[in-house]
Structure 1
Amino acid sequence: MSSLTVEQIYLYPLENARNHHTDTYELVHDEENPIPVLRRGQKFTLALRFSDRAYDKTKDIIRLIFSFGPDPITIKGTQGVVTVDPTKKYADTGKLWNVGLLALMENTLTVEIYSPPDCPVGIWSLKVETNTQKSSEPDKIQNYENDLYLLFNPWNCDDLVCMPEKRLLDEYILTDVGKIWVGPYGSSRGREWVFGQFDACILPAAMLMFERSGLPSTSRGDPVKVVRVISKLVNSNDDDGILIGKWDGEYDDGTAPAAWSGSIEILQKFLDTQEPVGYGQCWVFAGVVTTICRALGIPSRVVSNLVSGHDSNSTITIDKYFDEKNVELEDYNTDSIWNFHVWNDVWMTRPDLPEGYGGWQAVDATPQETSDSVYQCGPASVYAIKNGAIGCNYDVPFMIAAVNADIMRWKRNPECDLGYSKISCNKYHIGRVILTKKPFMYDPNGDRDREDVTLQYKSKEGSKAERLSLLNAVRSSHIGKVIYELPDAELGDVEFDLEELDLINIGDDFNLIVKMKNKSNEIRHIEALLSANSVFYTGIIHNSIKKAELKYSLAPNSSEKMKLVIRSDEYLDKLVEYCNIKIFAIANVTETSQTWADEDDFQVIKPKIKIKVPSSVPIRTPTVITLRFVNPLKKTLTNCQFNISGPSIIRSQVMMHPDVKPGAKVKVTTEIMLTSVGDKKLVATFSSKELLDITGSAKIEVFDDNEE
């Protein structure tokens, strides 16, 4: 009897996908060449059709060999070899590959396969070997013609990425449109972002990324190592990664970060060109990270830290230096304060850490500081960050500084041993609030869907627990210990308070106001410097808008306000992307040598795009949508374009628009075709050379007239 000849290997792409929570992947639905997308640690069905005869249980030998990466080997987990046992009806679960015989009909054999919950994630190949008992003939081999994706399985309690509260996976794995909070504290807003993790380009782009990562095949089942590589390869600083970071406002040779509406176009361009894509900033990096993580099966959320510390020298402080005349020493000031910074949390168990350090882990793909000599960050246990547990891999001290560092200001003083005296210490400014999107909510017109997760990252500001965790972390830095052991500057008898600004609409005037109160019985002479600067959201100053040196004589036990008025025509032409402004004040009291300083950031508010679209439309029906807003500037907008996208609605459609005169209405109309039923989300952005980051979104319910 000759060996069986396999005519077809069929993996039931759609049927298996429904059981594996992968039926929303476009690869599965490809009409010409559907690709199986499965989750590890879960059974799936496979059929073999033979061309010459039926399977003989007593004589035929059938082996299925699943292989991953170069040089696959079973002992390292990169190969699974299973032999069909006619007496075994169902595949066992456990730590090894397994097979069970489900049905035998004429020349077709149907089996059930089980993959281990820790096997590598990515593209596997399959070949079938057939032979007969006691045969001396070589095996007949038939290769499965398609790729086979195996993903992480957060629904399986044996997978390290399993979430105990399964309903949250609807948000952190299956939701393909979300929000990313951007902007300074007090004026932040949820910016719409299309993750689009089920688009046909996403998994292939992720595989290209892993090819360039240098991560061994044997490590691609470990979520700790996988997400660390993602944080490294989503930026292109050390490798040919996905996105080029840029923050200088000059994007003519690429796409301005503010023009992106989601991850699909970025990953499609990376896949098509095989080159890094320009350009990204922290929230763009974070959007792409969540897309890749959710596509691979790792629960992920985007996290925004409003007022974020960037500690460049591992002191867990943000230090600012001034000379004797209160002039900032820019060359010394390597630390910075970002108006906001965005990273990701991913969910996993951490077997490499003590019990209790699993759960959410911070991962940051924005290239700020190197870790292990390359630009990567995390996964850092959020529990470790909160408790100052600096010995827990990876990059916990850097993340602690981002959310909880103290701001220390130093003034040159030759009489001090360090050459500088501490003039102020602000323990409350960094990490004002940490936000993410609330599960199961999406508010296209407001921020009702924002969730405050600050207390997950640190104890209540100013509490004993918060101070103890920070001081515990400072133990890792010799310089940090020296700095924190120094006493704070003594409080003087003049109180100063920089007023935080309310929302300022673009084109409005505003005032920089400092309240002063003399609590002494003697006159006090005040010398102050007030300034307003346009800044990038990273805290880097771009333009000086206005500054003033002021002198006051403050009567005993009296109060007064110093004020600097900034008119719209003084700042409009000096704004850079996102329209952020930093106000700063520093003051000296002549009689006591008391020095005080403070600063605040705010964003000039821009209009949103209003999207006019029917609340519900029938499937496969052309639908007209209208986008509009008013140019708020007193100058013409040039190089104008709209970007519209939405999963299952429209794939990143770019529409150019003529120049827009000052104060003019901007309006465009286009037509979209909706191809799947359910609640859909549409996201739009507008960008021009003069004005960026105009966004809007809308919900659409798509129904099928033919359904009863």
Structure 2
Amino acid sequence: MLDCALYLLEVGNLAWTSRGNPIPVVRKLSAMVNSNDDGGVLVGNWSGEYSDGKSPLSWTGSVAILEKYWENKRPVKFGQCWVFSGVITTVCRALGIPTRSVTNFASAHDTDGSVTIDVIFDDEGNRDDYLTDDSVWNFHVWNEAWMARPDLPKGFGGWQAIDATPQELSDGVFCCGPVSVHAIKQGEINTPYDAPFVFAEVNADRMYWMPSLTGKMECIGVDNKSVGKFVSTKEPNSWRRLDLTDTYKHPDGSAEERAAVLKANQVGSNRQDLYEKKEHDVTFSLEQDSENTWVGGNFEVILRIHNTSKKDRTVSGRMAVSSMYYTGVVATKLKSDPFEKIQLKPGQDLETCFYPLDDNSLIRPAPEVVKAATEFQVEVSFTNPLDSPLTSCFVAVDGLSKPLEFPQGNVSPKGTFIATLPITPKKLGHTELIVSFNSTQLEDINGSHAIFIQDK
């Protein structure tokens, strides 16, 4: 891994005089881990078509990726954000730079530097994605690397955000960071590198736009509490989640958080007046039981409307359902129905149902202590939740030796899959056994188990 990390700095043409400085080193690595500009490690692919490579969901670790890249010096297919993050964690650590993966839920992708996310509707209330490329991802994974920042004001050292996923150009290259996490929290987006983009990921406001009667776009609402949730990493010396949200932002809606957003928008946006709009006195909320929603099954969406004013209100609107990629990009518009002139008395709530559209742990109990170079058995099982069979199945195992794959037979609809896998661990000490079940229909059904490997 060390040879591969040094090779990336070499083919990335990082000057020898800069290789002792972690700031340019991690910035260069964030460019070299993706292949967009320079033949780096990983090819990004969000299309769902992976026939000429490997699905991003089926990787169980970065070692197999880096070994394949090191073997032929050609980009490896394919990766998405969590794969890029895992690879850059490995190469940075190989160089002695403390690095960890960070996951942000409801992660904004600001494409125009406004540090806001624009959501545009046409005059019939249908979402129009042709006028903006902004989106909010279900989640996004980047990294933090620990270093001093003598180029920044005091207090801006420590954890720095970096991101190898190719999203937006920075100085003409697909790279991101390092940027001080503390600077992001304070809204100091003039600090290098790529602070406006990272700030928007965790703290952008969603701006909702619609054409007025004159045809001019009018801001019909601002949502300042839906982006940047449960920012997470792995807790040191534990398998628990460590919440990092308060290192990136003050509590949503607090005076400190609003001050940071306004400070950032003085640089990124020319529409500070939008933040002075009064809140609407009719509120809306949606509920849907995502835990029990499966492919091919029905589900309900509940819309609750509440009149908080002291006067009668008439509400018109539209309910729309679309399938979306986790990147927030609409795949298919499924259904769209209007509702018109609903009368609400002061303080009245209305609840309406729309659209009835027509875990077991993967690893069974496994030993906690095993011996190196001694085979033991791992039993893997889960129940297929779909009404269709699972085909082209295989189980991937990582964490105890080199990555392994075990081809499996098809799994019948609603059937239970059980397999016993022979594993021979190679390395000593505490580690984590990672098992992933993959098929054409379902991918990345995974489980993990902490194991201690002792000498024979």
TM range (shorter): over 0.9
Q: Find out whether 1:561 has 2:346 as its counterpart.
A: no
Q: 1:548 to 1:703 in 2, by over 3 A?
A: same
Whichever residue aligns with residue 431 of structure 1, its letter is G
Q: 1:690 to 1:391 in 2, by over 3 A?
A: same
Aligned to 2:119: 320
Q: CA RMSD in A?
A: 2.0
Q: Find out whether 1:656 has 2:407 as its counterpart.
A: yes
Distance in 1 between residues matched to 2:218 and 2:372, nearest whole Å: 69
Q: Find out whether 1:456 has 2:247 as its counterpart.
A: yes
- 1:225-240 pair list within 5 angstroms: 225-240=24-39
- 1:357-436 pair list within 5 angstroms: 357-415=156-214, 419-436=216-233
- Among 286, 289, 294, the alignment partner of 1:506 is 294
Output one character per residue of 1:681-701: Cα deviation in whole Å (capped at 9) or x when no partner. Answer: 210111111111211111222
- Among 536, 543, 567, the alignment partner of 2:332 is 543
Q: Find out whether 1:301 has 2:100 as its counterpart.
A: yes
Residue 549 of structure 1: CA displacement? 2.6
Q: 1:369 to 1:644 in 2, by over 3 A?
A: same
- 1:270-289 pair list within 5 angstroms: 270-289=69-88
Determine if contact 1:619/1:702 at 8 Å carries over to the other structure: yes
- 1:97-246 pair list within 5 angstroms: 202-246=1-45
Output one character per residue of 1:467-526: Cα deviation in whole Å (capped at 9) or x when no partner. Answer: 11222122223xx13x22235554455332223646335366432111123456766443
Residue 323 of structure 1: CA displacement? 1.8
Whichever residue aligns with residue 221 of structure 2, its letter is S
Q: Find out whether 1:627 has 2:426 as its counterpart.
A: no
Q: Find out whether 1:669 has 2:420 as its counterpart.
A: yes
Match of 2:381, SS state, is strand
Residue 210 of structure 1: CA displacement? 1.9
Match of 2:403, SS state, is strand
Determine if contact 1:554/1:560 at 8 Å carries over to the other structure: no
- Structure 2, unaligned runs of 5 or more: none
Aligned to 2:443: 692
Residue 259 of structure 1: CA displacement? 0.2
Q: Find out whether 1:642 has 2:431 as its counterpart.
A: no
Output one character per residue of 1:375-431: Cα deviation in whole Å (capped at 9) or x when no partner. Answer: 000000111111111221111111111110100001112548xx1111110011110
Distance in 1 between residues matched to 2:443 and 2:49, nearest whole Å: 12
Q: 1:441 to 1:255 in 2, by over 3 A?
A: same
Match of 2:236, SS state, is coil
Q: Find out whether 1:467 has 2:266 as its counterpart.
A: no
Determine if contact 1:683/1:697 at 8 Å carries over to the other structure: yes
Determine if contact 2:401/2:426 at 8 Å carries over to the other structure: no
Distance in 2 between residues matched to 1:676 and 1:518, nearest whole Å: 63
Distance in 2 between residues matched to 1:491 and 1:378, nearest whole Å: 35
- Among 43, 58, 62, the alignment partner of 1:263 is 62
Distance in 2 between residues matched to 1:357 and 1:487, nearest whole Å: 28
Whichever residue aligns with residue 636 of structure 1, its letter is P
Match of 1:651, SS state, is coil
Whichever residue aligns with residue 616 of structure 1, its letter is V
Aligned to 1:702: 453
| Percent of residue pairs identical | 39
Q: 1:519 to 1:350 in 2, by over 3 A?
A: closer
Q: 1:487 to 1:203 in 2, by over 3 A?
A: closer
Output one character per residue of 1:176-221: Cα deviation in whole Å (capped at 9) or x when no partner. Answer: xxxxxxxxxxxxxxxxxxxxxxxxxx12222332222011122111
Residue 633 of structure 1: CA displacement? 0.9
- 1:40-59 pair list within 5 angstroms: none
Number of residue pairs matched by the alignment:
454
Residue 368 of structure 1: CA displacement? 0.7
Q: 1:693 to 1:674 in 2, by over 3 A?
A: closer
Q: 1:349 to 1:439 in 2, by over 3 A?
A: same
Whichever residue aligns with residue 384 of structure 1, its letter is A
Q: 1:408 to 1:641 in 2, by over 3 A?
A: same
Match of 2:161, SS state, is strand
Determine if contact 1:422/1:489 at 8 Å carries over to the other structure: no
Residue 295 of structure 1: CA displacement? 1.1
In the superposition, the TM-score normalised over structure 2's length comes to 0.94
Output one character per residue of 1:545-576: Cα deviation in whole Å (capped at 9) or x when no partner. Answer: 44433345325233211211434xx3xxxxxx
Distance in 1 between residues matched to 2:406 and 2:230, nearest whole Å: 36
Aligned to 1:337: 136
Distance in 1 between residues matched to 2:366 and 2:159, nearest whole Å: 37
Output one character per residue of 1:358-379: Cα deviation in whole Å (capped at 9) or x when no partner. Answer: 0000001111110001100000
Determine if contact 2:37/2:173 at 8 Å carries over to the other structure: yes
Distance in 2 between residues matched to 1:515 and 1:221, nearest whole Å: 57
Determine if contact 1:423/1:489 at 8 Å carries over to the other structure: no
- Structure 1, unaligned runs of 5 or more: 1-201, 443-448, 571-605
Distance in 2 between residues matched to 1:465 and 1:487, nearest whole Å: 15
Aligned to 2:267: 476
Distance in 2 between residues matched to 1:613 and 1:288, nearest whole Å: 28
Q: 1:231 to 1:316 in 2, by over 3 A?
A: same
Match of 2:132, SS state, is coil
Match of 1:315, SS state, is coil
Determine if contact 2:110/2:117 at 8 Å carries over to the other structure: yes
Distance in 2 between residues matched to 1:555 and 1:264, nearest whole Å: 60
In the superposition, the TM-score normalised over structure 1's length comes to 0.62
Distance in 1 between residues matched to 2:252 and 2:130, nearest whole Å: 31
Q: 1:394 to 1:661 in 2, by over 3 A?
A: same
Aligned to 1:574: none
Whichever residue aligns with residue 429 of structure 2, its letter is G
Deviates more, 1:543-552 or 1:281-290: 543-552
Residue 266 of structure 1: CA displacement? 0.4
Aligned to 2:363: 610
Aligned to 2:235: 438
Residue 644 of structure 1: CA displacement? 0.4
Match of 1:660, SS state, is coil
Residue 530 of structure 1: CA displacement? 1.4
Whichever residue aligns with residue 397 of structure 2, its letter is I
Distance in 2 between residues matched to 1:505 and 1:414, nearest whole Å: 40
Q: Find out whether 1:517 has 2:310 as its counterpart.
A: no
